Amino acid sequence: MSAAAAALAFRGVGRSFGHGRDAVRALDGVELELPAGSFTAIVGPSGCGKSTLLTIAAGLDTGYDGSVEMRPHDAHRAYLFQRPRLFPWLTARRNVAFVLEATGVPRAAARARAEECLALVGLEAAADRFPLQLSGGMQQRVALARALAVEPALLLMDEPFSALDELTAQRLRGEVADLAARSGCTVLLVTHNIAEACFLADRVIAMGTRPGRVIGSFEIAAPHPRDEQAPGVLAAAGRVAACLRAAEPALATGTTPPTRPPAPGAGGAGTTTTKAST
């Protein structure tokens, strides 16, 4: 867990899917810089392009416009998804060791490292269990151990807590905050949970839809370890929510969303930067 962190920058990144009347502008003009070692969260309504942005950051989608710069360019990236995506026929230990063996680490060393990582997420006693013998929260912990095993310089997470019950999610959020701080890696988290974003991140980026774009940037200055109910965290969550509501009036009223983004200056479009202190 000592890999140097990576810095990541999106410069004018856009992404379209489909053609003609079916065309979707999933992302448009995204400008975003993630300093090395920072924790950034992206929040926004369903369909605003969060997963698309993360997939581009992971290097899994190259069909975008603009550019993405990562320093160092060959930094290790790890991806944690909403579902753990474990191999059901492998034990927890072998699920983690598998990714290491796939990169050429000898079997014995891979297993030893897998055990180390399972211990980091509190699962040392469950190394010999199969995924179906583990709860949803424990399975997601195995997936986290697997992500950490490669000592990523960049950790990408796509709604990793949203399939868990709230108590389990709370516990795992605390562990992720702690592990991210200790490893020093750069983290990009996608979530639709504003409170979660403000609890975990140094900076929260709000996104709007049609087209998917950045509509606000909020620094969360509350010290770590944080309390979800800390005034700085709650105040920041209020600001982020207000920004998202202003850009998508339907979120507040429950009515049909507009077919076009609001004009600049009309109710929250454009980028806002605010600082939330403790």
Q: State in angstroms the smallest separation of the CB of 51 from Mg ion.
A: 3
Which burial class, exposed, middle or buried, applies to 128 when counting CB atoms under 10 A from its CB (0-12, 13-18, 19+)? exposed
- Between residues 95 and 217, which has the closer beta carbon with respect to ligand ADP? 217
With CB under 6 A as the contact rule, the residue among 5, 30, 37, 52 that binds ligand ADP is 52
Look up tokens 């899994």; give the residue. 60
List 101's β-bridge partners, or say none.
none
- Between residues 1 and 82, which has the closer beta carbon with respect to ligand ADP? 82
Q: Which residues in 214-243 contact Mg ion (CB under 5 A)?
A: none
Q: Which two tokens stand for residue 80?
A: 């944690």
Q: Which H helix or E strand runs over 187?
A: strand 186-191
- Between residues 40 and 51, which has the closer beta carbon with respect to Mg ion? 51
Q: Which residues in 82-111 contact ligand ADP (CB under 6 A)?
A: none
Query: Peptide bond before 231: cis, by omega within 30 degrees of 0?
Result: no
C-alpha–C-alpha distance, residues 127 and 261, integer Å = 49
Look up tokens 């600001």; give the residue. 239
Q: State in angstroms the smallest separation of the CB of 56 from Mg ion.
A: 13
- Between residues 131 and 218, which has the closer beta carbon with respect to ligand ADP? 218
Would you say 40 and 191 are in contact if contact means Cβ atoms under 8 Å apart?
Answer: no
Q: Residue 260: which residues within 8 A CB-CB, separation 6 or more? A: 210
Q: Which does 208 bind (CB under 5 to 8 A by kind): Mg ion, ligand ADP, none?
A: none
- Binding residues for ligand ADP, total number by CB under 6 A: 13
With CB under 5 A as the contact rule, the residue among 51, 140, 183, 186 that binds Mg ion is 51
Q: State in angstroms the smallest separation of the CB of 48 from Mg ion.
A: 9
- Interaction site with Mg ion (CB under 5 A): 51
- Interaction site with ligand ADP (CB under 6 A): 17-18, 24, 26, 44, 46-52, 212
